[in-house]
Structure 1
Amino acid sequence: MWPPFLYPPPASVYVAAMSAVSLMSMANAGLAELRGKHMAYSKFWHVVAAGAGGNTKQRGGGAVLSSRDGMLVAYAPALAAAAASFAVPGAVDGARAQVLAAALAAHFLKRVLEVLFVHRYSGSMPVDTAVTISTSYLLSTATMIYAQHLSRGLPDPPVDLLYPGVAVFAVGLAGNFYHHYLLSRLRADGGGGGGDKGYKIPRGGLFELVTCPHYLFEILGFFGFAMIAQTVYALAVATGTAAYLAGRSCATRRWYESKFDEFPARIKALVPFVL
């Protein structure tokens, strides 16, 4: 029997293929994080300056951007796509499609505003990493809206999760922002221990229980998308995102353990008291 909380899958080879690709690629990226093969950004990647005239190269060659510019490249196209969907005739017909597009726009607008006004950066990001992340977010945003468009005319799911999904998304958005703010204040206080300038053991909020509460709330936000949309594709993206961020959270916890002798054993990676 088909799950009562999902629309039947539309007759679209593209959406079906993207559902499988999104789930498998993100899950594989999560496994790679567990194995120590990290995506080239954040504390897990270091770039060096090389060459004359101020040219900057990443380790192994290739151009880099400042972390701030790299994150803007990563998030801005998805924000533009979500906002532009309201101007495309028929793209967001119906309340559910409009709420989904608005939630996606709010999610990436928050990210862009955090990049501009909240986050504090000290490193660089390889251009190819920024483009990879940007392409992934752009495709997932556009495809989520497209899959919702294709659900028009299909039988509505017996279980309506639209409004619970809005609530879950709002909690995820707020919790993610709050813990990003705590991280920014930590960096503002100066360098940390462990031999890595600018890093400390985070404190406050759910940082008292897990290493990456910002990832936990980001996962909630993506499952909020899935509940609003109730499409197979949105659920595949949320599940894949959860798998990736679970792997990255475990890698982050290992990193803190390796850098800080006093790192509390009681603090889990992602889910309080569990994982």
Structure 2
Amino acid sequence: MEGVMSFVRGVIFQPPPSLLVSAMSVVGVVSLGNAGLSELRGNHMKYSKFAAQPSASTSPSPSWSSLPSRTGMLVAYTPAFLAALSSLLLLHHGGDGASSSRLFLVESALAVHFFKRVFETLFVHKYSGTMAAGTAIPISVSYFSVTALTIYTQILTQEALLPEPAMDLRLYGVVLFLIGIAGNFYHHYLLSKLRSSGDDGKKKEYKIPKGGMFELVICPHYLFEILGFYGIALISQTLYSFCVAVGTSLYLMGRSKATREWYLSKFDYFPPHVKALIPFVFWMINQCE
């Protein structure tokens, strides 16, 4: 146990003296982990294609409470992107070399991450239907909060003059982040090619994804997103950023299982060798078949 704690102290900054950051580190893991368990239990996010669709007899929501799906996703992603970009452009980065570089890299990675999401929403993904404002706004607040707190934690760590971890993982983090962002974008592009319709209002149609790592797992875009968040955590090396990465992993694990089960229910010929999230691994994600 002492060896584990020594290793942790060697890769993670001592937490800054902030009750907010400490509390949100726990809240982030618990809330995202709970969201993953909800996905495992079949309680899906309302914008998900897995969620139960309202019946014809159900009264439609007032028009003011619904947004076109593309607009809803822009509402979800844009504030976080603007927060990261504003921090990158407005904060002073001329302090200590290591700390200043780390803050700049964290801000840049978050800005790139959410810029990619906005870009994909505008030019890659195909959408149909609407998204409830009551769904888009909480997601937006969540992404904005995570982005702001990740940067705020880095600033507190820098201002507290906490000693650098024994192992500098910034370079590894940058490489892992770039792999994650590129792999996620590529597989989102492949997914967009499967959709035969979108904003034109026609009935949407789904197919079993092919190409890239879709030949091995049904959710390679989730796998690469997880890698991207761990890349940010390695750049940051704060406890909060690692908690975000762990929480994101737990959520996307549950989400990937829900995705695989959905495809199994829709396609009789779904290839059994295609796992949920990790290639070649047969584990709890696939044991509910």
TM-score normalized with structure 2 length: 0.86
- Which of 27, 40, 62 is residue 21 of structure 1 equivalent to? 27
Residue 40 of structure 2 corresponds to residue 34 of structure 1: yes
Q: Which residue of 1 aligns with 2:184?
A: 176
Q: Which residue of 1 aligns with 2:287?
A: none
Using the TM superposition, give the Cα deviation of residue 28 of structure 1 relative to its aligned residue in structure 2, in angstroms: 0.3
Distance 2:124 2:55 in 1: 25
Distance 1:108 1:26 in 2: 19
Deviation string for 1:58-114 (max 9, x for gaps)? 8xx982211101110000000000011134445895000001000100000000000
Distance 1:171 1:89, change over 3 A: closer
Residue 64 of structure 2 corresponds to residue 57 of structure 1: no
Q: Which residue of 2 aligns with 1:185?
A: 193
- Which of 238, 241, 244 is residue 251 of structure 2 equivalent to? 244
Is the 1:48–1:56 Cα contact (8 Å) retained in structure 2? no
Residue 77 of structure 2 corresponds to residue 75 of structure 1: yes
SS in 2 for 1:270: coil
SS in 2 for 1:125: strand
Query: Which deviates more from structure 2 when the two are superposed, residues 214-223 or residues 89-98?
Result: 89-98
Residue 272 of structure 2 corresponds to residue 265 of structure 1: yes
The runs of 5 or more residues in structure 1 that have no matched partner are: 191-195
Q: Which residue of 2 aligns with 1:98?
A: 104
Residue 110 of structure 2 corresponds to residue 108 of structure 1: no
Percent sequence identity over aligned pairs: 55
Distance 1:160 1:141, change over 3 A: same
Query: Which deviates more from structure 2 when the two are superposed, residues 159-168 or residues 61-70?
Result: 61-70
- Which of 80, 85, 88 is residue 87 of structure 2 equivalent to? 85
Is the 2:197–2:204 Cα contact (8 Å) retained in structure 1? no
SS in 2 for 1:65: strand
Is the 1:210–1:268 Cα contact (8 Å) retained in structure 2? yes
Q: Pairwise mapping of residues 146-165 of structure 1 onto structure 2 (< 5 A)?
A: 146-152=152-158, 153-165=161-173
Is the 1:92–1:98 Cα contact (8 Å) retained in structure 2? no
- Which of 144, 151, 176 is residue 145 of structure 1 equivalent to? 151
Q: Pairwise mapping of residues 204-219 of structure 1 onto structure 2 (< 5 A)?
A: 204-219=211-226
Distance 1:26 1:62 in 2: 29
The runs of 5 or more residues in structure 2 that have no matched partner are: 284-289
Q: Following TM superposition, where does structure 1 have runs of at least 4 consecutive aligned residues deviating by more than 6 angstroms? A: 48-51
Residue 174 of structure 2 corresponds to residue 166 of structure 1: yes
What value does the CA root-mean-square deviation take over the aligned residues?
A: 2.3
Q: Which residue of 2 aligns with 1:193?
A: none
Residue 209 of structure 2 corresponds to residue 198 of structure 1: no
Give the aligned residue type for 1:214.
Answer: H
Is the 2:196–2:204 Cα contact (8 Å) retained in structure 1? no
Using the TM superposition, give the Cα deviation of residue 208 of structure 1 relative to its aligned residue in structure 2, in angstroms: 0.7
- Which of 207, 229, 234 is residue 236 of structure 2 equivalent to? 229
Is the 1:76–1:112 Cα contact (8 Å) retained in structure 2? yes
Give the aligned residue type for 1:163.
Answer: L
Distance 1:227 1:49, change over 3 A: farther
Distance 1:91 1:80, change over 3 A: farther
Is the 1:49–1:57 Cα contact (8 Å) retained in structure 2? no
Is the 1:211–1:267 Cα contact (8 Å) retained in structure 2? yes
Is the 2:126–2:197 Cα contact (8 Å) retained in structure 1? no
TM-score normalized with structure 1 length: 0.91
Distance 1:82 1:257 in 2: 39
Distance 2:124 2:196 in 1: 10
Is the 1:83–1:102 Cα contact (8 Å) retained in structure 2? yes
Distance 1:33 1:257 in 2: 16
In the alignment of these two chains, the number of paired residues is 265
